[in-house]
Amino acid sequence: MMLKAAVVSLTYGIHHHPELWENPERFDPERFTNEAIAKRHKLAWVPFGMGQRQCIGKDFSMMEAQIILAMVVQRYALTAAPDAAIKPKISSTLKPNRSVLVHLEPHTV
């Protein structure tokens, strides 16, 4: 008799676990300062997986995201659109349940 098993990583659960994160549902960029990273378990934040099976595009993705974010915030002020509440849609990756709506206001020089 052959048994088959699936192994699933509950990344969303890890990233929102109250024993690992203070106010886990709140957006807090300060969680990712070098000091904060040094204080927490190395597997508390694993958006690209870990070890041999981690995403091969990790470094490119992080670099690309930082460049795009820097270009956008240099040019625009962003504010959330009214009633812009987003809920997570869990699939093979975490996605918003609908389009993310924001207002872009060009910076005046």
Tens digits of residue pLDDT in 50-60 = 888 889 999 99
Give the model confidence (pLDDT) of 29-48 as tens digits: 999 999 999 999 999 998 88
Task: Tell me the Ramachandran region of residue 51: left when phi exceeds 0, alpha when psi lies from -120 to 50, beta otherwise.
Answer: left
C-beta of residue 79 within 8 angstroms of C-beta of residue 71: no
Please give the torsion angle defined by the CA atoms of residues 87, 104, 61 and 7, in that order, rounded to the nearest 10 degrees.
0
Q: Which two tokens stand for residue 52?
A: 């041999």
The pTM assigned to this predicted structure is: 0.64
The values of phi and psi at residue 48, to 5°, are -115, 15
